Chain A
Amino acid sequence: MTSVGREHQAGPASTLTARRPLGDRSFQVLALAAGLAVLVILLLIAVSTTQQASSWFSAEGTNVLSSNWNPSANQFGALAFIYGTAITAVIALVLAVPVSLGVALLLTQVVPYRWARPVVYVIDLLAVVPSVVWGLWGILVFAPWIQNIYGSVGSGVQGLPVLGSLFGPPTSGASFFTAGIILAFMITPIVTSLSREVIATVPSIDREGAYALGATRLEMIRGVVLPHSQGGVVGAVLLGLGRAIGETIAAALVIGSSATITSHLLAPGYNMPAVIANEFGEATGVFRSALMGLGVLLFLFTIIVNVLARTVVARTARRGRGTLWHRSPPSGRRWTCASPARGGAPRTAL
């Protein structure tokens, strides 16, 4: 359509309109401006939050990354929160990724389509349960319930070499691990639906070929499905990681709100978004600036993870091996990466 549009505009022999009408040109300018708004907003986020955080960076210098966090003594080292963010995100990924992959494989390779559809709806429902509702349930129902389990696990592994330092006492219902579990619930839908879409692009001719050679379903999945959809699945996991890093309210309620660096996963902790949400309202001066700075770091981390994820996805899409944006439109346009297009570039058929 672009080419048609251009010819229409250019048409040198046209005696009807020498120039495009004003309305037409201003519509194009409006569209361009709306597109550029995305870039402008991202730039403004980076500039304005960094500006607000500058007094933290100048006051603390290299102590920004120290582990001393004590607002009443004007010590604002962010390490405990970065550590907490990493720990909760890792727990969430370790729990959510195998389960999400399992469900994605179940829905695409095992269950017939007419049964898979309602299941997809249900998982989409999981995605619209608001973060704060997970938090409410987490702190009022889940944390008190799991506290007993933590207690017995803690006393069970106490003194053991590695398990003891990971899961030993002190234990608390609101902890790193609880936050990780709740985050896992929250990122499962997105990882599942993205990897399901990628896995659905595996050409059925390859799968049938593997079955024809006598492969069991597991062997077919390992030999055909996983190699084919590797890149897209990595992208899906990275996007899940991005969510887990930035998810705020649920973590703020269940993480236990204690700025400590400890190997004890069942002990209360803190992460970056949670401390911003809980403390920003009362903070002033350098304290506020420090929380703003945590926001800048958070923004930086999620941007890096997302750029990485999208690049991985785009690269695999270009190789034509499983893309997140696969659709099979009735008109047959857009990405064509189904069946024999392997190795060939998915063409934007415009």
Chain B
Amino acid sequence: MDLREPRSWRRAKNRVVTALMVLSFVLVIIPLGLVLFTVIAKGASVISWPFLTSQIPPSVLPANAGGIGPAILGTIEITALAAVLAVPLGIMGAVYLSEYGGTGPLARLVGFMADVMTGVPSIVMGLFIFSIWVLHFGFSGLAGAFALGCLMLPVVIRSTAEMLKLVPSSLREASYALGATKARVTVTVVLPAALGGIVSGVLLAIARAAGETAPLLFTILTVTAANPDVFSGANTSLPSQIFVNASSPYVGAQARGWGAALTLIAIAFILMIAARFTTARFARYAL
């Protein structure tokens, strides 16, 4: 006996909506697929060891001349310095939110403002560092690192605070019972327990920062020469180099842009996969 309900308008509508959901998924996947495909197809033909290491040539030269060495050096220097500045500050801020502030008004304000700060446009961070630093001390990798650090700070605070709040209070209470001070409990018990989640959040923040262009435009002043001194003098980075090449009319420069884009995406994906790996590897209390 067939117990199924007869075909009806309600069921038809249901099927149409389900089909629309699948369609929307396809609409999301297509651009991602296209972008990745184009970047890999156009970038892979340019990338070679000499391309990754040699100097940035003038835009007019063909694709096989020169490379993006200085830009990779700059991105690594500036992002690493930004992480050195922002990560300890962010973790301490999270310690305040989760361990000291509790649900007091100040802690709630700081948490709320950290959320709001994640929404500040990256170009505004660039303008901010330009007006308080570059105008007085000139362009440098350090200024770029300040701008990237300002972008990373709220992300690190938020993800770390989430992870600290997942640490069971029984761990803290056990340490207090042994007579440990709060600082000692935080440093030797709470932070290590949440380490996997914290590292993963930090890696994601770094991956995002490494791809940012806007905050670097007016802080490092995109040059073509390599500048190993991150603390003084104009510098360059992968994203700013891609930006310059994207608006260039020369085919060779555009090809180098694709190569740089593939390098940048590879760096971001490696960091993201590393983040997943650390979460899985160290996940004891974190999710």
Residues in B whose Cβ lies below 8 Å from that of A98: 24
The closest CB in chain A to the CB of B154 belongs to A38
Interface size on A, residues (CB 8 A): 105
| Distance between Cα atoms of A242 and B124 in the complex (Å) | 13
B105 contacts the other chain (CB 8 A)? no
Q: How many residues of B contact A (CB 8 A)?
A: 105
Chain A: CB-nearest residue to B243 = A132
Cross-interface CB contact of B124 among A51, A121, A131, A246, cutoff 8 Å: A246
Contact with A along B161-196 (1 / 0, CB 8 A): 010011011001100100101111011000000000
CB-nearest residue of chain B to A301: B121
Which residues 171-219 in A have Cβ within 8 Å of B in the complex? 185, 188, 192, 216-219
Besides A216-B13, A219-B10, A239-B119, 12 more A-B contacts (Cβ < 8 Å) are: A34-B90, A35-B101, A37-B93, A45-B125, A103-B28, A129-B32, A131-B211, A185-B31, A217-B17, A217-B18, A281-B217, A306-B118
Residues of A within 8 A of B113 (CB): 38-39, 42
List of B residues within 8 angstroms of A106 by Cβ: 21-22, 24-25
Q: Decide: B121 and A248 in contact? CB cutoff 8 A.
A: yes
Structural contact, A28 and B100, CB atoms closer than 8 A: yes
Q: Which residue of A lies closest to B95 (CB)?
A: A31
Chain A 111-152 residues near chain B, CB threshold 8 A: 119, 121-126, 128-137, 139-141
The answer, among B32, B120, B217, for a CB contact under 8 Å with A277, is: B217
CB-based contact B239/A4 at 8 Å: no
Q: Which residues of B sit under 8 angstroms from A134, Cβ to Cβ? A: 35
Which of B14, B208, B214 makes the CB contact (< 8 A) with A248? B214
Q: How far is the CA of A140 from the CA of B187 in the complex (A)?
A: 50
Kindly specify which of A63-71, A225-233, A291-299 makes contact with the partner chain: A291-299
Residues of A within 8 A of B (CB): 1-2, 4-5, 8-9, 16, 20-21, 23-24, 27-28, 30-39, 41-42, 44-45, 48-49, 51-52, 98-103, 105-106, 110, 119, 121-126, 128-137, 139-141, 185, 188, 192, 216-219, 221, 239, 242-243, 245-249, 252-253, 273, 276-277, 280-281, 292, 295, 298-299, 302-303, 305-307, 309-310, 314, 325, 327-331, 333-334, 348, 350
A51–B207 Cα gap in the complex (Å)? Answer: 32
* Most-contacted residue by chain B among A9, A188, A295 (CB, 10 A): A295
B3 adjacent to chain A (CB < 8 Å): no
The interface residues of chain B lying within 8 Å CB-to-CB of A38 are 93, 110, 113-114, 117, 153-154, 157
Instruction: Let me know if B21 and A132 touch, CB within 8 A.
Output: no
Whether B81 sits at the interface, judged by CB under 8 Å, is no
Contacts of B34 in A (CB 8 A): 137, 141
The SS class assigned to the B binding surface is: helix
Within 8 Å by CB of B120, from A45, A125, A129, A276, lies A45
Neighbouring A residues of B154 by C-beta, 8 Å:
38
Q: Tell me, in angstroms, the Cα distance from A310 to B118 when the chains sit together.
A: 11
**A45–B128 touching, CB < 8 Å:** yes
Q: Which residues of B have CB within 8 Å of A126? A: 28, 32
In the complex the two chains form, is A103's CB within 8 Å of B21's CB?
Answer: yes
Q: Is the CB of B162 within 8 A of A325?
A: yes
In the assembled complex, how far is the CB of residue A36 from the closest CB belonging to chain B, in whole angstroms? 7
Q: Who on chain B is nearest to A133 by CB?
A: B261
Q: Are B121 and A298 neighbours in the complex by a CB distance under 8 Å?
A: yes
B41 to chain A, nearest CB (A): 10
Name B86's closest neighbour in chain A (CB-CB). Answer: A37
Residue of A nearest to B182 (CB): A5
Contacts of A331 in B (CB 8 A): 166, 168, 285
Residues of chain A contacted by B179 (CB below 8 angstroms): 16
When the two chains form their complex, are residues B265 and A2 in contact, meaning their CB atoms are under 8 A apart? no
CA–CA, A106 to B28, complex, Å?
12
Pair A32/B28 contact, Cβ less than 8 Å: no
- Contacts A/B (CB < 8 Å), 21 sampled: A1-B173, A34-B96, A35-B92, A35-B110, A38-B113, A39-B109, A41-B117, A100-B28, A102-B21, A110-B18, A125-B272, A129-B36, A132-B211, A133-B265, A136-B246, A137-B38, A216-B10, A277-B123, A298-B124, A302-B120, A333-B169
